[in-house]
A and B are shown apart, each in its own frame.
Chain A
Amino acid sequence: MATRYAKRLQKELMELQVSPPTGIRVEEANDLSRWVIGIDGTTGSLYQGEKFSLQFRFNDGYPLEAPEVIFIGKPPVHPHIYGNGHICLSILYDHWSPALTVLSICLSILSMLSSCTEKVRPVDDSVYVSRAVGKSPKDTR
């Protein structure tokens, strides 16, 4: 990883570990290029009381390129989250900006969960999941 931005990643990690916002915690980051972040369904939302895990993978292009972000374990049942943990969220793909951070991604995903009114999978879930076997969500768009 380019040293310049390895430093940014270190800073982001430290910030999250030292003063994590409510409902967000670093579960795993032994390898700087792969983190697991735990998030809690917010109070008052359909996901209150549920816990989820997000996997972040960073390549050399970060933050000029978006990280690869998916749910691991049991993904939330949500119209924009596939059964295999892939997330339909534009800032992770076309609308990525290098000024976005791991924290801002987590907050976006939490707000996406909070605004949900019906717990259902995407309509094309089974088709997408079978097509996306072994692929990064960045390559299935």
Chain B
Amino acid sequence: MSFYRERMSSGLDIKNEELYGGVGDGGVVGFHCFSCWNITSKMSEDEIYDDYDVDDDSAEESGNESADNEEMDYEYSTQEIDFDDIHSSNRSIGKLTRQKSFEVLDRSELVSESRKLIKEVMDVLSIPSEAAVSILLRHMKWNKEKLIERFMDNQDKLCSDAGIPNLRLDKAVDKSLQKFSCLICLEDFPPSQTFALSCDHRYCLACWKLYLECKIGEGPECIYSTCPAPKCKVKVHEDAFKKLIESVAYEKYSNFILKSYVDDNPQVKWCPAPGCVYSVRCDRKERKEAVTCKCGFQYCFNCNDSEIGDHMPCPCSQVDKWLQKASDESENVTWMLANTKKCPECRSPIEKNGGCMHMTCRKNAGGCGFEFCWLCRGPWSDHGSATGGYYNCNKYDKSKAKEDDEKANDAKTELEAYMFYYHRYESHKNAMKIADEQRRNAHQKEQQILSKFDVRSADTKFLMEATEQLLRNRRVLQYSYVYGYYLDKKSNERNLFEYLQEDLEKHTNQLSTYYELSLDKLDDYQAFIKWKEQVTNYTRITKKFLDHFVEGVAGGLTGSHHNN
């Protein structure tokens, strides 16, 4: 891994020098020409794409890029006017072929899936009634194989246990009766206004309706409602519900059936995003990539949690461990955080309202004007490419780590080390929330731009792309600090990891800064175009860095680097 060391020590001073690296060495491929981010503003779009072509060609040579990326590369080199359209549609095709392992289902797809299952059972067992099979399937938690087995084994027992004895549905009314007395409302009715299930417990239609609607009001268990007669175990089937209640209530009932279909099925889960109506089918046992719902939420299918979301590069178990630790340590951490959110120079309280880590202690808010890094509280002038200075912000201080070894049993030091990672984890998590807000507000920004400059709406697409990229980067960065916390403190993997993390963090912060630029600062069309190029370019760059990071963690860190 000498390549990484070399580049680390040369830091960011390298300019206009092309670096391709990692070929055949653990699967980390394709580093970029540094010029594409150091002099971004002077580059035309074509030049940027050319750069990517060169890069990806080298990657192809190394045989490590997947086929769909190659396809994209051809598009990069074309000079179509509506470049972004082709580019993004191509990207989504590439994604589809790569992520076939999950499937987003809407309500109608769930309905047809569950109907299909019912149909299959009807065919196999030669049961003509859909409503009866639906009861049997729900009784067997939608497990078709188990149902068929139990049915073959003892049909009568299964059917009466399930509440549909002899697979009979309704009991026809004796038309010769003059009138019939309902035991619920104690009134008389003509037989035509009554209904009974196979058990012949007959009630008036009005009482049936009130009874079933009352059950639906009680919640999901309503799909297992029994006949209202005391101690009667016969289940109310779907057709009876349909016949006896209003369509609005029936809709609710059908949704509960679908809910049971999803809840009882380990391969299908509801998307955890608040208010989302989709569900996702995912057949693989081990999580590899996140699933992406049609609502736009990207998350780990296994954890299935709206707060956790996707947690690349960490394995699920690590996230569990981390969250457990976070709750164990929360009191200590709260205290530490409360006591450190101050300007490092003048101790004024600092409010963080942008996604960027570049903080300014505002003079108009009584501060001192000091510019510093939110993560390490060091002066901002020591950071980033502007000064070419070495960016040392994602690493836990080496000397501290040494002390760690000496005072291995010192709990306070351990807490400090944890705090380092926790603080960064939290900062990126919050920055992610801001990025999410920016993504939702991108439309407003677009409108402002359209009214201020004479541009086409295609010229503002980069806003959405930038915010989506920011969101992805922040999420990965957030969990990268969990991953980093559990990485062996002295391993080679750690060096590479921190190196990749640093790159991603630095450029993500830069993208944040560019994106958050106030529109007031753009005087004319030229300035707008320049800004657009900066943002577009950084979006692409950080995408590449994100890919490197993810690939690096997936392959390079654990693959052929067990030297220690």
Pick from B187, B210, B230: contact of A100, CB below 8 A.
B230
Q: CB-CB contacts of B167-205 with A at 8 A, as 1s and 0s?
A: 000000000000000011111000000000000010100
| Given A4-B206, A61-B214, A64-B211: A98 and B186 interface contact (C-beta under 8 Å) | no
Cβ-closest chain A residue relative to B203: A99
Across-interface contacts of B184 in A (CB, < 8 A): 8, 63, 98-99
Cβ-closest chain A residue relative to B227: A97
Q: Smallest Cβ distance from B384 to chain A, in angstroms?
A: 63
A63 to B210, CA, bound (A): 10
A99 touches B210 (CB 8 A): no
Across-interface contacts of A135 in B (CB, < 8 A): none
A46 to B263, CA, bound (A): 51
Q: Which of A42-92 contact B (CB under 8 A)?
A: 61, 63-65, 91
Pick from A5, A65, A97: contact of B228, CB below 8 A.
A97
Across-interface contacts of B211 in A (CB, < 8 A): 64, 98
A7 to B188, CA, bound (A): 13
Across-interface contacts of B402 in A (CB, < 8 A): none
Q: Is A11 an interface residue (CB 8 A)?
A: yes
Across-interface contacts of B201 in A (CB, < 8 A): 99
Pick from B186, B210, B231, B232: contact of A12, CB below 8 A.
B186
B214 touches A5 (CB 8 A): no
A106 to B230, CA, bound (A): 15
Q: CB-CB contacts of A3-25 with B at 8 A, as 1s and 0s?
A: 01101100110000000000000
A95 touches B231 (CB 8 A): yes
A5 touches B230 (CB 8 A): no
Q: Is B449 an interface residue (CB 8 A)?
A: no
| Given A64-B214, A99-B203: A8 and B185 interface contact (C-beta under 8 Å) | yes
Across-interface contacts of B350 in A (CB, < 8 A): none
Q: CB-CB contacts of A95-122 with B at 8 A, as 1s and 0s?
A: 1011110001000000000000000000
Across-interface contacts of B231 in A (CB, < 8 A): 95, 97
A100 to B230, CA, bound (A): 7
Q: Smallest Cβ distance from A13 to chain B, in angstroms?
A: 11
Q: CB-CB contacts of B445-479 with A at 8 A, as 1s and 0s?
A: 00000000000000000000000000000000000
Q: Smallest Cβ distance from A99 to chain B, in angstroms?
A: 4
A99 touches B185 (CB 8 A): no
Q: Is B229 an interface residue (CB 8 A)?
A: yes
Q: Is B207 an interface residue (CB 8 A)?
A: yes
Q: Smallest Cβ distance from B420 to chain A, in angstroms?
A: 49
Chain A interface bracket (under 10, 10 to 19, 20 to 34, 35 or more): 10 to 19
Q: Smallest Cβ distance from A100 to chain B, in angstroms?
A: 6
| Given A64-B211, A64-B214: A97 and B229 interface contact (C-beta under 8 Å) | yes
Across-interface contacts of B185 in A (CB, < 8 A): 4-5, 7-8
Cβ-closest chain A residue relative to B215: A64
Across-interface contacts of B183 in A (CB, < 8 A): 99
| Given A99-B203, A99-B228: A8 and B214 interface contact (C-beta under 8 Å) | no
Q: Smallest Cβ distance from B224 to chain A, in angstroms?
A: 13
Q: Smallest Cβ distance from B216 to chain A, in angstroms?
A: 12
Across-interface contacts of A95 in B (CB, < 8 A): 230-231
Q: Which of B517-537 contact A (CB under 8 A)?
A: none
A91 to B231, CA, bound (A): 9
Across-interface contacts of B210 in A (CB, < 8 A): 4, 64
Across-interface contacts of B186 in A (CB, < 8 A): 7-8, 11-12
Across-interface contacts of A11 in B (CB, < 8 A): 186
Interface centre among A4, A7, A65 (most CB of B within 10 A): A4
A61 to B218, CA, bound (A): 12
A1 to B84, CA, bound (A): 65
Pick from B187, B206, B214, B230: contact of A97, CB below 8 A.
B230
Interface centre among A12, A64, A95, A104 (most CB of B within 10 A): A64
Across-interface contacts of A104 in B (CB, < 8 A): 230
A96 to B132, CA, bound (A): 25
Across-interface contacts of A5 in B (CB, < 8 A): 185
A91 touches B230 (CB 8 A): yes
Cβ-closest chain B residue relative to A99: B183
Q: Smallest Cβ distance from B64 to chain A, in angstroms?
A: 63
- A sample of 14 cross-chain residue pairs with beta-carbon separation below 8 angstroms, ordered by A number, consists of A4-B206, A7-B186, A8-B186, A64-B214, A65-B214, A97-B228, A97-B231, A98-B184, A98-B207, A98-B211, A98-B228, A99-B229, A99-B230, A100-B230
Closest 6 CB pairs of A and B: A97-B230, A99-B183, A64-B214, A98-B184, A8-B186, A11-B186
Q: What residues of chain B have their CB less than 8 Å away from a CB belonging to chain A?
A: 183-187, 201, 203, 206-207, 210-211, 214, 228-232
